[in-house]
Structure 1
């Protein structure tokens, strides 16, 4: 059977293929599947079959009265098929593999013991290679690998999907897990209206034994939560890229999958290619079976449906001229996406925040630039910096963005809006200001106020005024944020450590603006107002003061 045939989106097409007579027999309920080199005890099989059904009584098993669900997509990470009128599906057995259902918009998935969505089953009859963090244990493959779905409340026709997006939680210790809980999760409990959550990789920082604690904390938010694999989620004792996420998969399921809501379809991609023994040990890219999965899945979607692609490594190269994501893989991906007119890319990894608009220079040839949002990290700069009164590190990122998370709102028609939320701050905290406290009256106006507009882009309009006067444009500058530079200097000057880890060295920010401060005003305090016009949230404001003082020669 050709791989192309296996990727056909609907089982009806799969069953009609003349070359697929053995699969047709199995789909019709044949007792003996074809033989292959894949086995589970005495049983050998070339296909995996099962039923997708409505678990009406929510008991986690298929009862005789519970009906099968037609047209639900199921995958092994390579082939994508759809259940027939009785809810039955047939997939090629490419064990070891993770078989998963693609949650349809009108249904929900059960919740696992860890509080996270359970929409997959492992097909590892002989287990995985022995790994420090366990990998995937051996387990029998049932004759029918069934998936129960739950009815979901039908949203209003114009209902929007609000979701939380966390980049790089990345705790290295249980102390850091505590920061994650107190800084990020606890302030949201009982106070948010999100219906879905997404963590965009680096769920932990190399210590995969922290997964249970992280899941226990995240589950307190009470919504289905999707997880992307990051470079710090790897089994570094694995011998190949294919085996490098076995422990991650044992906890979170497939590393590449899809999930559907009424407002949008989501594709989660593992885009970290592990290269054991090489330097660097990983690079951004995709595997061949991921392209096959994408071809099969994208063929099932309307071209104008909102599509969100989430991956850990950015698809752009943060350092110009350094290929951190394989260009050939990016171009193949963009070719698959080209006819889809409403695509949003979400990435993390950089511990900075920026928007990137892909064009021909990065291999995108769509009618409009392709938007990628590289979300700031919930751990900020790896939980570093001086602790505040609550004992939580400052952890500002190297581009001057405070740690936090994003809100993604997708309307019923697929339009979306993004907002960045600084951890434990008011919703309006979208601009960081830095200005000198005092200047000499009459001095040459060589000193400025700096505005770090956390969601700013190159074309963002940023203005300032002094003492309620006329608004004037600020100039975008590519340089480090002076507030973080001041922290670097304070760390250098300190005789003892100011925190467990120092703040990061300030790096060039892509969203920093400057305005010169006048010195020809009256002695005393002067107010500086700054406003930035966000494409989704509208006018955002912040203010700061400085003083003018006379000085004797």
Structure 2
């Protein structure tokens, strides 16, 4: 009997303790977010995927949706643009696909309008731009007069196609007021420009939302005011385009490159509405699979990301490193770490690997893609840099070629005085000479693996290098040695 009484008392004490503990925990706030998605003719659009960054739903046959959101986690409600529709565009930015959740209201009504396409999209162009990263108006002027002017010329050549742009983070360099000036600079581009958040796009005063204790003040808030949510998707033709944050910001310029478990869960849910085998263009700031290991770490939890993507044909576009590096991660995952628009932070005209300032132009045909780097201020066929013997400090007797968009599918051919010499060009790892020169001759330690060399014979008067990419496009440079 005493044992029974003792156990009963112990049970009651545990219950009281549990109740007291629960009372100390923050109470989750729930807000009902609902609305209707229609086209410009006020007709309901069914089957539209709607999310608050955590939860997902689809519109019913009357275009209606409803979500129960926690405003501590969810700051926006937004939809994944269906392939048969597109968003409105103002000053080159997509508008109307997201709305801020008002945490002060228990119920939020957020209606959305879509523009119905007249016909399905089969071909389009996707332009990836990394790291404009201006810290003042002078650097932003360079972005405007160099990158944007060059983009306008490229867009003229693509006038018959729909064009989407994606800035892969570090839009500015910790200077939040520059967002307005940046938006003015791109406002007359003839495309729809989306944005990824980079480590320099956070308000330095605050931590990222995933780390913040005060959920009303968080690092991404200013970015959100200008560009909306950080994790979102859209469908164009047969392609699914995703943008995600892979920077966990700790404030005062400190951060970790990583995906949180909540983000990976969001990605799983987003892709649950996408047919396996679909081509996916995933846009991030930090890389996931770089081998160079300089200029920024690979994002943590990348292996989990790859597992989620294993049933899709994925191309990952990243920046962050100011290096150019292509990586075939798996047979179905290819990562493009492209050269920065600002190169080495507007110090000159090249990145730390010697790749010129520029951007990547991706041609989409159905569910197939091809790509070509566009060096700012250079013709489209400028795809490699040649150093004559004596011009590359560490290789004085060699002709050196820097092929920034190189991957194992490229072929390099070398000719002396019109005669091909197969197999003589060898890859090597070193610092790029143009970058060393830009750094006033100082060694930097930043090696790149897309360098190749060949030692011309003493009698050679003229040499020709032909670089052929994985799509069969050949680029040629001829160099006179004597």
TM-score under structure 1 length normalisation: 0.74
1:372-383 → structure 2 map (5 Å cutoff): 372-383=335-346
1:262-301 → structure 2 map (5 Å cutoff): 262-276=237-251, 281-301=254-274
1:422-501 → structure 2 map (5 Å cutoff): 422-436=375-389, 447-458=397-408, 460-473=410-423, 474-489=425-440
For structure 2, the residue ranges without an aligned partner over 5 or more in a row are 1-26, 211-217
Q: Say if 1:477 and 1:512, in contact at 8 Å, map to a contact too.
A: yes
SS of residue matched to 1:312: coil
**1:244 equivalenced with 2:189 (yes/no):** no
Q: 2:355 aligns with which of 371, 382, 401?
A: 401
**1:76 equivalenced with 2:58 (yes/no):** no
Q: Say if 2:294 and 2:321, in contact at 8 Å, map to a contact too.
A: no
SS of residue matched to 2:420: coil
Q: Say if 2:462 and 2:479, in contact at 8 Å, map to a contact too.
A: yes
Q: Say if 1:437 and 1:546, in contact at 8 Å, map to a contact too.
A: no
Q: Partners of 1:294 and 1:263 in 2: how far apart?
A: 18
Q: Partners of 1:197 and 1:446 in 2: how far apart?
A: 41
**1:345 equivalenced with 2:333 (yes/no):** no
Q: Partners of 1:323 and 1:230 in 2: how far apart?
A: 12
Q: 2:38 aligns with which of 49, 53, 60?
A: 53
Residue 499 of structure 1 corresponds to: none
CA RMSD of aligned residues (A): 2.5
Q: Partners of 1:283 and 1:543 in 2: how far apart?
A: 45
Q: Partners of 2:244 and 2:208 in 1: how far apart?
A: 18
Q: CA offset at residue 545 of structure 1?
A: 2.0
What per-residue deviation string (whole Å, max 9, x for no partner) do you get for residues 389-435 of structure 1? Answer: xxxxxx211111010001011211x1110100000111110011111
Change (3 A) 1:211 1:320: closer
Q: CA offset at residue 505 of structure 1?
A: 3.8
**1:150 equivalenced with 2:115 (yes/no):** yes
For structure 1, the residue ranges without an aligned partner over 5 or more in a row are 1-35, 39-44, 57-65, 127-139, 360-367, 386-394, 439-444, 493-503, 548-553
Q: State the aligned residue count.
A: 438
Structure 1 runs, 4 residues or longer, greater than 6 Å off: none
Counting strand residues as a fraction of each chain, which structure ranks higher? 2
SS of residue matched to 2:235: strand
What per-residue deviation string (whole Å, max 9, x for no partner) do you get for residues 208-235 of structure 1? Answer: 1111111122232121111000001011
TM-score under structure 2 length normalisation: 0.85
Change (3 A) 1:374 1:37: closer
Q: Partners of 2:415 and 2:290 in 1: how far apart?
A: 36
Residue 514 of structure 1 corresponds to: 453
Q: Partners of 1:542 and 1:260 in 2: how far apart?
A: 39
1:134-145 → structure 2 map (5 Å cutoff): 143-145=108-110
Q: Partners of 2:99 and 2:68 in 1: how far apart?
A: 15
What per-residue deviation string (whole Å, max 9, x for no partner) do you get for residues 73-131 of structure 1? Answer: 111001121100000001112115211111111111123477443311001335xxxxx
Residue 279 of structure 2 corresponds to: 306
Change (3 A) 1:167 1:51: same
